Amino acid sequence: MLTVLNCQVYIMARRKRTSQVLEKAARRAASINSIDPNLDLGNGLSLPTFSTLIETMRTRENAYNSALSNLDKFYSEMLQTERELADMAEHMLLGVATRYGKSSVEYGMAGGVPKNQRHKGLRGESPTSSSEQTPFVANINNNVSQNGNQNGNKATATS
């Protein structure tokens, strides 16, 4: 979400992830630890294996959340650079206008619209002229086939 205050853009940080499964598993491991710290139920179900998996998940979740923070930082830096670029692009065009004039060919080459080529239209009028607009012609006889039959079926000869 973007919030604009006093010509500055504030970006809300991406929401960090918290795993309810991880929290529940950590509570469960603490409870099972009170039964037996080395509990082994067979088939790979042991408290040490469970604890290792909990720590793996915690490490990955932390890495993910750190990556989101870095992404927020990079995004903010990119937006700041984009604003600086837009300002410099505008200043470059104004510099060309100052040196060569706003009616010059060079100003047009730099991306500006030379003063003598601007067309001011009336309010509510589209910027395209009427000669550039394509005409729209509706066929009011769209149900009439080429042979004059109005039901759309081919005419058949009767004997």
- Boundaries of every domain in the chain: 2-83
pLDDT per residue as tens digits for the range 68-99:
999 999 999 999 999 999 999 999 999 999 99
Task: List residues bridging with 121 in a β-sheet.
Answer: none
For 107, counting Cβ atoms within 10 Å of its Cβ (0-12 exposed, 13-18 middle, 19+ buried), the class is buried
Burial of 122 (0-12, 13-18, 19+ CB in 10 A): exposed
Percent of the chain with pLDDT over 70: 69
CA separation, residue 13 to residues 1, 10, 43, 60, 71 (Å): 8, 9, 43, 19, 9
Q: What angle do CA 65, 24, 40 make, to 5 degrees?
A: 115
Spell out the residues 6+ positions from residue 68 whose beta carbon is closer than 8 angstroms to its own.
Answer: 13, 14, 16, 17
Question: The whole model's pTM is what?
Answer: 0.56
Flag whether pLDDT at 6 surpasses 60: no
Q: What is the mean pLDDT of the chain?
A: 82
Condensed to tens digits (0 to 9), the pLDDT of residues 94-117 reads 999 999 999 999 999 999 998 888
Mean pLDDT of 47-58: 97
pLDDT at 10: 63
- DSSP letter assigned to residue 155: P
